[in-house]
Amino acid sequence: MTDSENDDEYVPVSTPDLSPAETRNVVNAIESTWISSTGEYLDRFEREFGEECGAQHVVPVANGTVALHLVLEALGIKQGDEVVVPSMTYIATANSVSYTGATPVFVDVSAETWCLDPDAVAAAVTPRTAAIIAVHLYGHPADMDPLRELADRHGLALIEDAAEAPFAEYKGRRVGNLGDAATFSFYGNKVITSGEGGAVTTDDPLLADRLRLLRGQGMDPARRYYFPVIGFNYRLTNVAAALLCGQLSRVPAMLESRRKVYETYDDAFRASTRISLQPKAEWAATTPWLYGVLLENEDHRARVARYLSARRVETRPFFVPIHTLPPYESGGTGDLPVTTQLGARGLSLPTSSAFTPALIHRVASLVLEALKA
């Protein structure tokens, strides 16, 4: 969007930032006729995304949800197992556990990071616990060192759900190389996108082989149409990978534009006593994904959302705590106070590297107007 926006123009909460680089790649993929699940762009994406994450193996998949499911299946998570997950996350994190027959165990997040509270995870581990999924929420990496120590002590798998935080860093290390495996989403509202799409990263060659086997219907790579296991059709297309390669070539510029969006919002809201900004740990380099704030209470959040909606500006509430949703509310989870507060007070505002400073100033001004109304 350009600086010519007017006050009547609809502002979505997110929009993809696409350029001629993506168009050229997609046209080239189509003209090559390699439009399915093999092709040069898939090979290139695996190599370039692995370099970005510092991971030795990248397995592209159809979306972020199947990335999570694939990892859990490859790790042997099964019925009777428990997997510790934050309740404050997108429901795909929990659903992927349920797909395997295992039980998601919901724990609270930390007020300092909005990510998994390591002490809460430690309290939730039982003899049935098989894995921990650490979600890097709203662009902020989880505190991985204590989670790694806990996983190692109990013999648990540690999985990163990095859908919302590609390119973020934990103590100087990129997410995607901090657990046994990491999953990514390239949905249309993510930092880089192919419309739909996802990936798994890992340094474990045996796990990577297992992921590839299961991703492609379980077919033996050395013997066509021989299927030693039941697998899934979770592959990414070469056309989608062409889009992603174009996006990867522009990551520094897109991240810089997103940081300016965050800085504009921060400058507008910092003096307000009615808005709390997202916390940031001193060891974190965050990814500016979707800008979020906490309002004083649920009524104030609803007021701001209504005010902006009436002026054609889209917002999103924070995720509804999963342990309160119908498929999972019977699980007996106790009180999760930080999660409850985030779910009641959190509001996401329009964020994209395609948005101009003028547009963000307009949105920020409307938020402040709504709180005075």
Q: Is the pLDDT at 33 greater than 90, yes or no?
A: yes
pLDDT tens for 125-181 read 999 999 999 999 999 999 999 999 999 999 999 999 999 999 999 999 999 999 999
d(CA 137, CA 179): 16
Assign 199 to helix, strand or coil.
Answer: strand
Secondary structure element (H or E) that encloses residue 133, with its range: strand 129-135
pLDDT confidence bin for 3, thresholds 50/70/90 = very low
Percent of the chain clearing pLDDT 70 (strictly above): 98
pLDDT confidence bin for 8, thresholds 50/70/90 = confident
| pLDDT for position 6 | 62
d(CA 360, CA 344): 24
pLDDT confidence bin for 373, thresholds 50/70/90 = confident
pLDDT tens for 45-55 read 999 999 999 99
Length of the chain: 373
- Beta strand 129-135 with 103-107 is unpaired
- Please give the mean pLDDT across all residues of the chain: 96
Average pLDDT over residues 263-288: 97
Tokens of 90: 């997108």
Query: CA angle, corner 148, sides to 147 and 154, nearest 5?
Result: 90
Residue owning tokens 């429901």: 91
Q: Is the pLDDT at 95 greater than 70, yes or no?
A: yes
d(CA 18, CA 43): 21
pLDDT confidence bin for 330, thresholds 50/70/90 = confident
| pLDDT for position 176 | 98
Identify the structural domains of the chain with CATH numbers, from first to last. Answer: 20-248 (3.40.640.10), 251-372 (3.90.1150.10)
Q: Is the pLDDT at 64 greater than 90, yes or no?
A: yes
Average pLDDT over residues 70-97: 98
Q: Is the pLDDT at 5 greater than 60, yes or no?
A: no
